Structures are given as structure tokens and as C-alpha cells.
């Protein structure tokens, strides 16, 4: 039995080490706060009331007590659903279930207790409306359910940023490599965060601006300009875009502040797998390639991956992993001028010095004499039509 427990402990520690980056990143996850007043039926505040906030996903609990003014506050809560219990001497126990807290939300939720025994309970089912009354920040929240129901090209949530008021798409050039402008700010003034960690780590592509990329002013997008390398859509919990009057903690850049929150493990196992592909078998041949009797160019695009999460120790230790891979073979059909066979033979006979250079070019793929043959056919057709025209009297 002792050996079995040792093996189990080793397995748990190994899994914890594998998923340590996920847990470490969660410490910086944009959190929210639930606060409010607790009052009695007459509207007077209730000091010393115990407020217990329990996560519906993981079972983790936080408890606080209201102060002399009846005010309670539970900070640093991860986004997700919560069940709240309020207890006080001389009042019935109040249960509020399915309170959904969003990323970076400072929500106010007041409770009005009813006089009675603490053994009596009042349970309210359904999501309560959480209002932000602490600041005047202007932001837009896009949740995972909305993302999953939208047909996003390239599996990137960047196209949803365009739905935010004040966002204008900006064409990228050498001096401005950003993708969009917010409220008139420069396109390189937007700041990305994934679980509280900066994601402005854009690399320099061909012709890229070293100043913007080196200074961390550009998001770490893919070669296609998408954001699925920051987080896969299946691993995205929600993201918030703050465009105006945000808190001083976002003081690095004056543009939009984009906070991305990833999913985490819960007490229930959950996961998904996906595969999106394109293949030339399902496509018609390129017009230019078909015109020159070339075979259909190969097109291979496979976007695949999946996520998996669940408990290692119920109510205590969880894991969550995500992977997404993209394999692309994209053909390019282009017309260009290369030396034909007659030119090569002439150069070989008269210009032996130039011949090796001309012979290094790719050989022509168009069938020899195609235009001349088509010209003869068109000429014969026109002559036949003209002869038929002369046969009739005018």
C-alpha cells in the first residue's frame, strides 16, 4: 500500500510540474471584485454579517465579514460563476446562486436580509445583475459562448475586436504595423495581456519596423496576422477590451487595453478536439494553370488541436492543457517569361558564354506552338466565314 501511495504522489507531482506554466500564469489573471451593502428589512446596515463566496467550478471558498457600515468586499476573484451565502445573527440565511463575475469587473451586489432563524434559508436561483458603480471605464466583454458560435476565419478572435465602439481598422505599412486604431490613437498603442502577462512581443517580419517590434508595441500575432498563437479559441474563457477612462494600472500605452483570460481546470473533466482542413482535391484547378495545361497545384492546410482539463485532487488541484497546430502548403501560380527552346539553341550555337545563364532558367511549361496553332485555327475560321459571306448576292 505504501508503494502505491508513493507512485500516486509521484504522478501527481509530475503532472503538476508539466502544467506549472498554466498555474503560474493564473496568478496574474485579471481578477474581479464583488462588493456591496448588507441591510435589514428597514434599510439599516447589518455589521458583522458573514459572506461566503464559493466557486461553482472548483469549490474554492472565500469568506469575509461586513464592517460597521454594513459594507463587504471580496477582491481577487477569478472570472466565473459563484454561489454566495450571507449569514447574520437574527436573520435568515440567504443564498444567491449563479452569480457570474467577469474579468476585471468591480461588481456591486447588495443583500436585504429577512428577520428569522439562521436555520431558515432563502435561496435565489439565477444570475443576479452585477453593476459597476466604482469607475467610469468604457469596455466591451466578449465571452467564450459568443466566440464559439461565430464563424471566425482562421480561428482568431482578432476580428471580433472590430465590433468594439471606437475601433477603426488601419492599413499596415512600414511605419505603422498595428492592426487597428482606437479613438484616434496610433495603431501601435494597443496593449495585449494574456492572464495578466504582457503579450506585446511582436517579431520583425520581412520589411518590419524594428523600432515598434523591439519596443514591444506590437502584439505577438501569427504570420497570417491572427491571434490564435496567443490563445486557442477552445482555451479562451473571455476577453475584455477597454477603450477609454480605464484604471491607472494600464498606463503603458494610451490605446486599447485587451485582457485575455484562458480557461482553467474544474471538478469535472472537459475537453474538445478539432480539425479544420483545406485540400486541392475539393478545389478546381487554377485558371492560369488550367490554361497552360498544368496540373492542379497542391494545397494543404490543416488546423488541428484540442484542450483537456479536469481535477487532479477534487476541490484542491486542477489541470488544463491546450494545443493548436497549423500546417500549410500554399501554392502560387504565376506567369513569367523564360527563354524558349529556340532561344536556347541559338545561344548554344552562337553565344556559348551566355548559354549557361539562359539554361539556368526554368524550362517553359506552356505547350510549344500553342498560340500559333490557335492563331491558325482562328484564321481558318475567319476565312471560311468570309467565303460564305461572298457566296450570297448583295
* DSSP at 254: S
Report if residue 6 sits inside a domain. no
Give per-residue pLDDT as tens, 21-40: 433 333 456 788 999 999 99
Question: How far, in whole angstroms, is CA 366 from its chain's centroid?
Answer: 44
Asked if residue 254 lies in contact with residue 237, where contact means CB atoms within 8 angstroms, the answer is no
Residue 115 has pLDDT above 90, yes or no: yes
Tens digit of each residue's pLDDT (9 = 90 or more) over 329-372: 888 777 777 888 888 888 888 878 888 888 888 887 765 544 44
How many domains are contained in the chain?
4
Q: Is position 9 within any domain?
A: no
Same domain for 359 and 319 = no
Return the pLDDT at 381.
58
5 belongs to a structural domain: no
Residue 149 three-state SS: coil
pLDDT confidence of residue 266: 92
Highest mean pLDDT pick, 10-14, 140-144, 152-156, 319-323: 319-323
Q: For the segment 202-222, what is each residue's pLDDT rounded down to a tens digit?
A: 655 444 556 676 667 788 788
Q: Are residues 279 and 257 in the same domain?
A: no
Is 131 a domain residue?
no
Classify residue 164 by its DSSP letter.
S
* Whether residue 348 sits in one domain with residue 316: no
Tell me which residue range forms the domain holding 315.
Answer: 270-329
Give the whole-angstrom CA distance, residue 29 versus residue 105: 12
CB 366 within 8 A of CB 341: no
Same domain, 189 and 115: no
Residues 182-199 have pLDDT tens digits of 998 988 889 999 998 888
**Strand segments (E) across the chain:** 32-39, 50-55, 61-65, 71-77, 80-87, 93-101, 106-108, 111-112, 121-124, 138-143, 167-169, 180-182, 191-194, 197-198, 236-244, 257-262, 270-279, 300-313, 317-329
Name the average pLDDT for the chain.
81
In this prediction, what percent of the chain has a pLDDT beyond 70?
81
217 and 255 assigned to the same domain = yes
Amino acid at each position: 500500500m505504501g508503494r502505491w501511495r508513493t507512485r500516486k504522489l509521484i504522478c501527481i507531482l509530475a503532472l503538476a510540474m508539466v502544467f506549472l506554466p498554466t498555474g503560474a500564469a493564473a496568478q496574474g489573471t485579471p481578477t474581479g471584485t464583488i462588493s456591496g451593502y448588507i441591510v435589514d428589512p428597514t434599510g439599516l446596515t447589518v455589521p458583522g454579517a458573514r459572506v461566503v463566496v464559493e466557486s461553482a467550478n472548483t469549490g474554492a471558498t472565500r469568506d469575509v465579514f461586513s464592517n460597521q457600515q454594513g459594507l463587504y468586499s471580496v477582491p481577487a476573484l477569478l472570472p466565473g460563476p459563484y454561489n454566495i451565502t450571507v449569514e447574520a445573527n437574527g436573520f435568515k440565511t440567504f443564498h444567491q446562486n449563479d452569480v457570474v463575475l467577469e474579468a476585471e469587473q468591480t461588481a456591486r451586489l447588495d443583500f436585504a436580509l429577512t428577520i428569522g432563524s439562521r436555520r431558515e434559508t432563502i435561496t435565489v436561483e439565477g444570475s443576479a445583475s452585477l453593476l459597476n458603480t466604482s469607475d467610469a471605464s468604457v469596455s466591451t466583454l466578449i465571452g467564450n459562448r459568443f466566440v464559439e458560435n461565430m464563424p471566425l476565419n482562421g480561428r482568431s478572435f482578432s476580428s471580433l475586436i472590430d465590433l468594439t465602439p471606437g475601433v477603426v481598422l488601419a492599413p499596415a505599412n512600414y511605419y505603422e504595423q498595428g492592426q487597428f486604431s482606437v479613438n484616434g490613437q496610433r495603431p501601435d498603442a494597443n496593449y495585449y495581456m494574456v492572464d495578466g502577462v504582457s503579450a506585446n512581443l511582436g517579431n520583425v517580419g520581412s520589411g518590419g519596423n524594428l523600432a515598434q517590434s523591439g519596443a514591444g508595441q506590437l502584439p505577438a500575432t501569427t504570420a497570417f496576422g491572427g491571434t490564435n498563437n496567443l490563445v486557442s479559441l477552445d482555451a479562451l474563457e473571455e476577453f475584455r477590451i477597454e477603450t477609454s477612462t480605464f484604471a491607472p494600472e494600464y498606463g503603458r500605452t494610451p490605446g486599447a487595453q485587451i485582457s485575455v483570460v484562458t480557461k482553467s481546470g474544474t471538478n469535472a473533466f472537459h475537453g474538445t478536439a478539432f480539425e479544420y482542413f483545406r485540400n486541392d482535391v475539393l478545389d478546381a484547378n487554377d485558371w492560369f494553370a488550367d490554361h497552360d495545361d498544368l496540373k492542379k497545384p497542391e494545397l494543404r492546410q490543416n488546423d488541428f488541436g484540442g484542450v483537456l482539463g479536469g481535477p487532479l485532487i477534487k476541490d484542491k488541484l486542477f489541470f488544463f492543457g491546450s494545443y493548436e497546430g497549423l500546417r500549410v502548403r500554399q501554392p502560387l501560380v504565376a506567369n513569367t517569361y523564360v527563354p524558349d527552346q529556340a532561344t536556347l539553341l541559338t545561344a548554344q550555337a552562337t553565344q556559348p558564354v551566355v548559354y549557361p545563364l539562359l539554361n539556368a532558367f526554368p524550362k517553359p511549361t506552356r505547350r510549344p506552338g500553342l498560340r500559333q496553332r490557335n492563331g491558325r485555327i482562328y484564321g481558318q475560321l475567319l476565312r471560311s466565314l468570309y467565303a460564305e459571306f461572298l457566296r450570297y448576292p448583295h
